[in-house]
Chain A
Amino acid sequence: MVTAIPFPFARIVTTAVVVAAVVLFGMLVDNAFVITLAGYTFAFSLFALSINVMLGGLGEVPLGQCVFFGIGAYGAAIGMVTLKLPFEVALLLSMAASVVAAALIGMLTLKLTGAYFSIVSWGLSGVAMVAALNLPDLTGGPLGMFGFPPITLLGIPLSEPRAYFFACAGLLAGAVLLMAAVRDSRFGAAIESVRQNPHLARSVGVDVFRERLKAFTLSAPLAALAGALCVPYTQIVTPEVFSVSNTVDALLMVLLGGSRLAVGPIIGALIFSIIPYFFDMDPNVRVLVFSGAIILVMMFAPGGLHQMAQALVRRFSGGAR
């Protein structure tokens, strides 16, 4: 079970404050770059949530999760440019494609656990990248795909910064609600039992492989949604979306924010994009800083930064458990 903020009242207040802050940010901030970056951060947070279904949910490190992110990005691009479909339709088709891909990949790889699963899934992302590089008719090859028509989602112009921000925020909020429902459901309890003790889970009637496969096929469309929503920001899709560094970025967000908290990945994503922006960091410096931060977090707060915050609150409120 994921640790939740203890009192429903406190949770409602926290949620209200966060929603108000997001709405005010979206309405009051005028810097188009900042607001677009914030929207992109929310879009990428969906990818971190997808990673956390595997990491926090199943206890697996899905190094190849970028395959589904890439399917979303390429799906949106190919749908719009090659097939001349509206963005919404391309988005839904790419999410459906990611579910099919996850079911197939999962059936082949989810018997594996731990490092074996991570390595095989990493290998598959390499296969995806080579495929994207070498299928120029489908993917545009090494140059990738660009030159999209103005992108709208159900009439919302995603090329307009404020609209993009609110669209991404809304979809992210929906995804968080879905994750919360999953966590509190029979399915969520089943994957938690599988993560903690697969032997005992099987003995109380959990079909371990099936629950793992279900979790994997749930994580895929979240990643695809993230991939497609990043297209209006990046305006180009290259084979680099299949790069493992893409996955590692999202993994670091999850670890920073905390994998045991439903919104942990989002906290991590915010830190991940705010800090480099404020300190105007060179990408190479960024890698150094975040690598260092991860080592420190893993050493002193293996549950992520929210665990540190909870420990502080507990210390100052004098409550001991």
Chain B
Amino acid sequence: MTGGATPAVRATGIHKRYGGVVALNGVDLTVDVGEVFGIIGPNGAGKSTLFDILCGITEPTAGQVSLFGAAIAGVAPHQVARMGVGRSFQRTAVFGEATVRENLLHGRHALARHSVLGRALRTRVWREDRDAFEAAAADVLALTNLQADQHRLASVLAYGVQRRLAVAVALMSNPRILFLDEPAAGMNGRESADFVELIRAVAPGRTVVIVEHDMTVIKALCSRTLVMVDGRPVTVGAPTEVFLHPEVIEAYLGAEDD
């Protein structure tokens, strides 16, 4: 941690219970501003639950999450988004019936300001929104290599392309922090290598938190990673170090060998 600066994410004592099932049992973590931070663990370790809690989709049973120093307890998910939080989910990732371009427009919601009347009268505010959208869309399309697909429907895109689009949608609000839930799940080797390049390109100037199953992605991208097993943190550190931790080898590699 850099001396006393407010971290991008600070979670303390996170517990989550669903009825009698304990999904998370006391997680603490700190992610510095500008860091690419990984969360890794075998299936059922509570990674996705932790993801939803960190980015404000789910409330923890106990514990506190602050993003850039602001506590998000009781803040609605859409308001968390307006705090500069971009999220890309594993399942409900894109707007399927919309074109790539329209997906990007939806991603712009939090930054647009014009009213219906403003649209009808083409006011200055509307023109500014339009120009800012065009500029942002051009940047994001170039970054995610989606220019050629911009007029295609999201639902007809290949899975790997849809995942890139999901990141593009999240990038449209120019988030300070980007949460990615299993971005490489279901991707082939080529697609996940492309994906690593994409995240490298978008990471400068923001904080990235990646929940991932795939160690190669975490090794390629993250400066530090948290390893979770059975709803509790095992160790935090550089990916190369944490994978040497005896308990990680046992729990994680053991589970993957099943």
Q: Which residues of A contact B (CB under 8 A)?
A: 1, 177-178, 181-182, 184-190, 192-193, 196-197, 199-208
* CB–CB B92/A184 < 8 A: no
Query: Once bound together, how far apart are the Cα atoms of A199 and B95, in whole Å?
Result: 10
What A residues does B113 contact at CB under 8 A? 186
Report Cα–Cα, A167/B98, bound state, in Å.
36
**Which residues of chain B from 220 to 249 have any CB-CB distance to chain A below 8 Å in the complex?**
none
> Taking CB as reference atom, which chain A residue is nearest B122?
A181
A181 touches B78 (CB 8 A): no
A181 touches B120 (CB 8 A): yes
A185-B116, A203-B77 are known contacts; what are 20 more A-B pairs with Cβ within 8 Å? A185-B118, A185-B120, A185-B126, A186-B109, A186-B114, A186-B119, A187-B116, A192-B102, A193-B95, A196-B98, A200-B95, A204-B106, A204-B169, A204-B170, A205-B78, A205-B82, A205-B109, A205-B110, A205-B173, A206-B106
User: Is B96 in contact with A203, judged by CB distance below 8 angstroms?
Assistant: no
Q: Which of B106, B118, B120 has the most CB of A within 10 A?
A: B106
B112 with A186: CB separation less than 8 A = yes
Does chain A have a CB within 8 A of B157? no
The answer for the CA separation of A190 and B114 in the assembled complex, in Å, is 12
Cα–Cα distance between A192 and B110 once the two chains are bound (Å): 15
Flag B77-96 by CB within 8 Å of A: 1 or 0 each. 11101100001010011111
**A204–B117 alpha-carbon span in the complex (Å):** 23
Contact of A199 among B89, B99, B105, B106 (CB under 8 A): B89
| Chain B contacts for A203, CB-based, 8 A | 57, 77-78, 81, 87, 89
Does A205 lie within 8 Å of B81, measured CB to CB?
yes
Q: How far is the CB of B189 from chain A (nearest CB, A)?
A: 27
Taken together as a complex, chains A and B put the C-alpha atoms of A181 and B116 apart, in Å, by 6
Q: Chain B residues near A187 (CB, 8 Å)?
A: 115-116
Q: A173 to nearest B CB, angstroms? A: 14
Q: Considering the complex, give the chain A residue whose CB is closest to the CB of B106.
A: A193
Cα A208 to Cα B76 in complex, Å, equals 11
A202 touches B119 (CB 8 A): no
Most B CB within 10 A of own CB, among A1, A205, A207, A208: A205
- In the complex, which residues 22-80 of chain B have their Cβ closer than 8 Å to any Cβ of chain A? 57, 76-79
B107 at the interface (CB under 8 A from A): yes
Residues of chain A contacted by B191 (CB below 8 angstroms): none
B129 x A186 contact (CB < 8 A): yes
Complex Cα gap A185–B126 (Å) = 9
Number of residue pairs across A and B with beta carbons under 8 Å?
96
Q: Report if B134 contacts A (CB, 8 A).
A: no
- In the bound complex, CA of A178 to CA of B119 (Å): 10
B105 surroundings in chain A (CB, below 8 A): 189
CB nearest neighbor in B for A1: B102
Task: Report A-chain residues with C-beta under 8 Å of the C-beta of B87.
Answer: 203
Residue from B94, B119, B172 in contact with A181 in the complex, judged by beta carbons closer than 8 Å: B119
B57 touches A189 (CB 8 A): no
Q: Which residues of A contact B93 (CB under 8 A)?
A: 200
Q: Could you list some 5 contacts between A and B, CB below 8 A?
A: A181-B120, A182-B116, A204-B109, A204-B172, A206-B78
Asked if A192 meets B98 with Cβ closer than 8 Å, knowing A204-B170, A208-B78, the reply is yes
- Asked if B128 is an interface residue, CB under 8 A from chain A, the answer is no
> Is B97 in the interface zone, CB < 8 Å from A?
yes
**B106 in contact with A201 (CB, 8 Å):** yes
Closest chain-B Cβ to A135's Cβ sits at a distance in Å of 36
* Set of chain A residues within 8 Å of B119, measured between Cβ atoms: 181-182, 184-186
Task: Report yes or no: B92 in contact with A197, Cβ–Cβ below 8 A.
Answer: yes
Would you call B115 and A185 a contact (CB within 8 A)?
yes
A182-B116, A185-B115 known; A204-B77 Cβ under 8 A: no
**Interchain CA distance A188-B92 in the complex, whole Å:** 21
Q: How far is the CA of A245 from the CA of B212 in the complex (A)?
A: 53
Chain A residue at minimum C-beta to C-beta distance from B76: A207
Contacts of B82 in A (CB 8 A): 205
Could you tell me if B115 and A202 are in contact, using CB atoms closer than 8 angstroms? no
- Whether B95 lies near A197 (C-beta < 8 A) is yes
- CB neighbours (8 Å) of B77 from chain A are 202-203
By a CB distance below 8 angstroms, the chain A residues around B118 are 185
CA distance A185 to B114 in the complex (A): 7
CA distance A163 to B95 in the complex (A): 45
Residues in chain A near residue B57, CB distance under 8 A: 203
Closest CB pairs A-B (n = 10):
A205-B110, A181-B120, A205-B81, A185-B119, A193-B106, A186-B112, A199-B92, A196-B95, A185-B116, A202-B77
**Distance to closest chain B CB from A182 (angstroms):** 5
What residues of chain A lie closer than 8 Å to B115, measured between beta carbons?
Answer: 185-187
Chain B residues near A189 (CB-CB < 8 A): 102, 105-106, 109, 112
CA distance A185 to B120 in the complex (A): 8
Q: How far is A234 from B92 in the complex, measured between Cα atoms in Å?
A: 49
Q: How far is the CA of A208 from the CA of B92 in the complex (A)?
A: 15
Residues of A within 8 A of B96 (CB): 196-197
Contact (Cβ within 8 A) B94 A200: yes
Interface residues in B166-191 by Cβ distance below 8 A to A read: 169-170, 172-173
Complex: A197 Cα to B173 Cα, angstroms = 17
Question: Which B residues are CB-close (under 8 A) to A207?
Answer: 76, 78-79
With a CB–CB cut-off of 8 A, which chain A residues contact B76?
207
Residues in A whose Cβ lies below 8 Å from that of B109: 186, 189-190, 193, 201, 204-206
